[in-house]
Amino acid sequence: MTAEPQWKSRTAPESRRPVFVAALVIIAGQTWVALSLRLDPFWLFPAISTVLLVASIAVYEGRDEPGLPMKILSHALSAVLILANALSLVLLVRGVFVGSSLKPTGLLFAGLALWLVNLAVFALLYWELDGGGPEARAEGYSHRCPDLVFPQQQADQQGLTSATWKPSFYDYVYVSLTSCIAFSPTDAMPYSKWAKLVMGMESVLSFATLAVIIARAVNIAHG
């Protein structure tokens, strides 16, 4: 008989509490970027994100096993965070190439902050969607395959880590980091259509943000 794949093992579900903290940091970062880039009203997206985050925490703490409401709220929060980043990128491009009331260094720091926030947002999205979310991954991916396949989940790598290894939020942060810098998968490979779409979206947003940052840095260097 063929042995069960490593990722089908059942494990304790990963706590969402550290991710809630990460989401709060993301919202704070987006608020600063929106304020710096003169988004009007700058509080709109942070306010919506905060409401969704508070609702997610309430649902999570009020149930033993988060279900459909938790997923809906989490996906809605990720969508709002990505939309806020995309709008901030548009404002950043306008500020660099059309003109802005910010000083050149102010635009540079806003761009760097946006790039970091973008990295964190997509890490959150990967963590929430891969295999159906952390609860589904703990249940052996709930009768579906992984969307992102890590080296530790491949048959030729088994024995190098625990037989019950599952990716945690920090693994998805690394996936997001490599996608932001290399503009391609270097650790976990995307297998599903949505994983390829999301990773491609992150690479495009990251490339555009870095291009604008470099343009501003060159402009500052030339005085």
Residue bearing tokens 């840095």: 217
Q: What is the pLDDT of residue 45?
A: 95
Name the one residue in this structure whose structure tokens are 């494990």: 11
What per-residue string of b and e applies to 147-180 under the rule 16 or more CB within 10 Å gives b? Answer: bbbbebbeeeeeeeeeeebbbebebbbebbbebb
- At 125 the pLDDT is 94
Residue 7 clears pLDDT 80, i.e. is over it: no
pLDDT band for position 1 (cuts 50, 70, 90): very low
pLDDT at residue 24, as a whole number: 96
Summarize pLDDT for 146-178 with one digit per residue, the tens: 899 898 887 766 667 777 888 999 999 999 999
28-71 per-position pLDDT tens digit: 999 999 998 888 899 999 999 999 999 999 998 876 666 788 88
pLDDT (tens digit, 9 = 90+) per residue, 168-214? 999 999 999 999 998 777 888 999 999 999 999 999 999 999 888 88
Q: What is the SS3 string spanning the chain?
A: CCCCCHHHCCCCCCCCHHHHHHHHHHHHHHHHHHHHCCCCCCCHHHHHHHHHHHHHHHHHHCCCCCCHHHHHHHHHHHHHHHHHHHHHHHHHHHHHHCCCCCCHHHHHHHHHHHHHHHHHHHHHHHHHHHHHCHHHHHCCHHHCCCCEECHHHCHHHCCCCCCCCCCCHHHHHHHHHHHHHHCCCCCCEECCHHHHHHHHHHHHHHHHHHHHHHHHHHHHHCC
What are the residues whose beta carbons fall under 8 Å from the beta carbon of 84, sequence distance 6 or more? 30, 34, 45, 46, 49
* pLDDT higher than 80, residue 75: yes
